[in-house]
Amino acid sequence: MITLESIEKVYESKSSRVVGVDNVSLSIEKGEIYGIVGYSGAGKSTLLRCINILERPTSGKVIVDGVDLLELSGKRLREARQSIGMIFQGFYLVSSKTVFENVAFALKAAGVDRAKREERVLELLSLVGLADKANQYPSQLSGGQKQRVSIARALANSPKVLLCDEATSALDPSTTKSILSLLKKINDELGITIVIITHEMEIVKEVCDRCAVMQDGKVVEEGPSYEIFANPKEDLTKEFIQTVLDFQLPAKLLENCSGTLVRLQFRGEQAGESVVSDMLQNHKVKGNILHGKVEYIREKPLGIFIMEVIGEQVEIQRAISYLQDRLKQVEVIKHVSK
C-alpha cells in the first residue's frame, strides 16, 4: 500500500544544512497498523508528512497504492491526497463551525453535493460515537471528543490511508485508550491502512502490527511489533521497550538473594505452560519469582519473569539448561553468593 524508497529530506539555508530524513526505505502493507517511534527531533513527523507530500522529499520515491506521488502535481496531486486522511495532535477544528460543519468541510471541498454530504457526515459521526454532538461547537467538547471529530473529518472522503501524527499525545491515558480502540475499529471494519507517529511504546503495544524506530532521521530498527518487544536489537529500542517492560530490581531485594538470578521470557503459548514448575519438580533446586508480568502485544502474550534459583551450582546449571531448552530465551543476570 505504501512504499518509501530512499527518502531524504534536507533543509538548506545560506548558513546551514539540516537532514530531517536520512535515506529511509519502508514498506507498509495494505490494511495494517504501522507505528513509527522516536524521540522529538528523530524525523518521524517529517517522514509522515512526506507520505502525503505535505513535505516534499529532497529525493526518493513515495508510492501510495501503486502511484508515485512525487510524479504528480496540481490537480492530480490534490485528487491523490483525497485517498490519504490525516489527524494531528492539535485537532485543528474550526472553532466557529459546528461538529457537523467541521466534518462536512472536507466533503464540500471535494465537491460532494449537499444531500450526500449530510448523509455521509451523520454516518461518520455515528461511527466515531458523536451522533448526538452534531450541532455543538468544538469549545463544548472534551479533548477526546475533538479528536473523534478530526478522525471523522479525516475519513470523510473514504481514504485508503489514515496518517496519525502524535494523535493521542494531548490526551489523558483513559481517553488515549478509547481513541486507540476507535482506530482499531476503523482498521478492522473499513480496512484502512493506518500509520501512527508516536514516542510511546505503549501505543505500539496496543495497536501496531509492525513498527519502525527512528533516530537522527534514520530507521535504526524495524519489524513486527511482537518481535521488537520480545527481542530488541538496538540500545534505543531497548530504552523504549523498558518504558513498558520495566524490570529493574530494587537493591534491597538483591541484598537478600543467595542464588542465581535468571530472566525468563515466555512467548505466545509458552506463557500458559508450566515450565517453571516442571523445572522445580525435575531438578534439585528451589526457586523464587522475584518479579514478573505478562504483557499483551496486539493481544498476543509476552511473559517476562526474573527468578532466583537456589541450590548446588551443578544443579543450578542443569536447571538453567532445562529452561533454555524449553524457552530458548533465558538470561543469567547475576550469580549472588553470600
Task: Give tens-digit pLDDT for 74-127.
Answer: 889 988 888 999 998 888 899 999 999 999 998 988 888 989 999 999 999 999
Residue found by looking up cell 479533548 in the block = 143
Q: Assign residue 135 a region (left: φ > 0; alpha: ψ between -120 and 50; beta: otherwise).
A: alpha
At 338 the pLDDT is 45
Which residues is 212 bridged to in the sheet? 36, 222
> Whole-angstrom Cα distance, residue 107 to residue 238?
44
CB atoms inside a 10 Å sphere around CB 89: 17
Could you report the per-residue pLDDT of 244-270, keeping only the tens digit for each? Answer: 877 666 676 666 777 888 888 888 777
Residue 56 CB burial class (10 angstroms; 0-12, 13-18, ≥19):
exposed
Query: What's the CATH fold of domain 251-335?
Result: Alpha-Beta Plaits (3.30.70)
State the amino acid at position 297 in one-letter form: I
DSSP 314: H
Please compute the mean of the pLDDT values over residues 52-77 and round it to a whole number.
93
Could you report the per-residue pLDDT of 209-220, keeping only the tens digit for each? Answer: 999 999 999 999
Report the CATH number of the 2-242 domain: 3.40.50.300
Could you report the per-residue pLDDT of 164-173, keeping only the tens digit for each? Answer: 999 898 889 9
Residues of the chain with CATH 3.30.70.260: 251-335
138 closest CA partner among 179, 92, 169: 92
> Whole-angstrom Cα distance, residue 201 to residue 40?
14
Look at residue 277 and tell me whether its pLDDT is greater than 90: no
> Whole-angstrom Cα distance, residue 91 to residue 88?
5
At 268 the pLDDT is 77
Residues of the chain with CATH 3.40.50.300: 2-242
Could you report the per-residue pLDDT of 15-35, keeping only the tens digit for each? Answer: 889 999 999 999 999 999 999
Greatest Cα pair distance in the chain = 81
- Using alpha carbons only, what angle is made at residue 177 by residues 174 and 180, rounded to the nearest 5 degrees? 155
94 closest CA partner among 108, 83, 81: 108
Which residues is 288 bridged to in the sheet? 308
Look at residue 221 and tell me whether its pLDDT is greater than 90: yes
Instruction: With H, G, I as helix, E, B as strand and everything else as coil, classify residue 131.
Output: helix
At 183 the pLDDT is 96
> Whole-angstrom Cα distance, residue 182 to residue 166?
15
Provide φ and ψ at 328, rounded to 5°.
70, -40
State the amino acid at position 279 in one-letter form: M
The per-residue pLDDT of the chain, averaged, comes to 90
Q: Given pLDDT bands bounded at 50, 70 and 90, which one contains residue 336?
A: low
Look at residue 177 and tell me whether its pLDDT is greater than 90: yes
At 276 the pLDDT is 87
pLDDT > 90 fraction of the chain, expressed in percent and rounded: 61
- Using alpha carbons only, what angle is made at residue 314 by residues 309 and 317, rounded to the nearest 5 degrees? 55
